[in-house]
Structure 1
Amino acid sequence: MTTAACPAPALTEVAAAVRASWDRDTCDDADRAGWSARVPSRGQCGATALVLHDLFGGDLLLAEVWHSDGTLQGYHWWNRLPGGTEIDLTGDQFTPGETVQPPRVVTRPPGPPRRCRAQYALLRRRVLARIGDPGAGR
């Protein structure tokens, strides 16, 4: 008996599921104090990029983010999908004084992330449940 492979979910469906799944509990600890429902993407980039990478593959992109005074604000993650399209669901989190620098491709190490492991696992479960993936309980 053969089983048909499940079709990949549509990017628009996944993007909506990701956005609906963000909250303070999925926010990076470094940004949690500044998180609000008004800007729900704040602090969500790392976990979001990993969930998209799980579902679509491609490249993980990482860039420094600088304050207007030249000090480092932090780091920003997003994705380049197979075929070259960049997708950044959290690019709207930055204030006018924060500038994302050009990215570099980062190879994802095997296993779960070292930072924000719990946030990633929670976001992944929520997104998979919203898109109807039977593996959502993992």
Structure 2
Amino acid sequence: MTTARPPAPAPASVPPRVAAALRASWGRDTCDTADVADWSPRRPSRGQCGATALVLHDLLGGDLLLAEVWLPDGRLQGYHWWNRLPGGAEADLTRDQFGPGETVQPPRTVVRPPGPPRRCRPQYELLRRRVLDRLASAG
């Protein structure tokens, strides 16, 4: 039986209640469509990076970071999103989604375009709503 991996600790610059609200809000329905087949409750961060980075950006500001992810044979697996918060600390709440041999390359900063995301908009909107509801109910 495979057990869930413990989540990586959130950087000190991410309030613990925000990190907890994000992690508790992940599900198959908030997963990037490209990763749904690989998502499971044992690996809840799989496919959550784009929506998570956008919600964290909504809440804390900073920069969005984007990097290619390579497979062991050098093929492109996909892309990974995370945040650089005001003050310079990087916050990557979904880094533990990657399996052995999946290598995240150095990031580039991406300017967030105005308006809602073009890709995975329903997943982002659902995750955002869940997180804001959890934060509101926690006081």
In the other structure, the counterpart of 2:5 is none
**Which residue is 1:109 aligned to?**
113
User: Aligned partners of 1:13, 1:27: CA distance in 2, in Å?
Assistant: 21
1:25 corresponds to which residue? 29
Q: Which of 84, 87, 95 matches 1:83?
A: 87
Which of the two has higher C-alpha Rg?
A: 1
**Unmatched tracts of structure 1, length 5 or more:** 1-9, 134-138
Q: Read off the aligned partner of 1:125 and give its amino acid letter.
A: R
Residue-pair matches, total: 124
Deviation per CA, 1:17-49: give whole Å up to 9, x if none: 000000000000000011000000000000000
TM-score normalised by L of structure 2: 0.88
Q: Does 1:99 align with 2:103?
A: yes
- Superposition RMSD in Å: 0.9
Structure 2 residues without counterparts, runs of 5 or longer: 1-13
The reply on whether 1:54 has 2:58 as its aligned counterpart is yes
Give the % identical residues.
78
Quote the offset at 1:105 in angstroms.
Answer: 0.2
| SS at 1:125 equivalent | helix
Cα deviation, residue 111, structure 1: 0.2
Paired AA for residue 108 in structure 2? R
2:129 to 125, 128, 131: 125
Q: For residues 111 and 16 of structure 2, what CA distance do their matches in structure 1 show?
A: 25
Deviations 1:65-115 (A, max 9, x none): 000100000000000000000000000000011000000000000000000
4, 15, 22: which one aligns with 2:19: 15
Q: Aligned partners of 1:116, 1:12: CA distance in 2, in Å?
A: 26
Calculate the TM-score normalised by the size of structure 1: 0.88
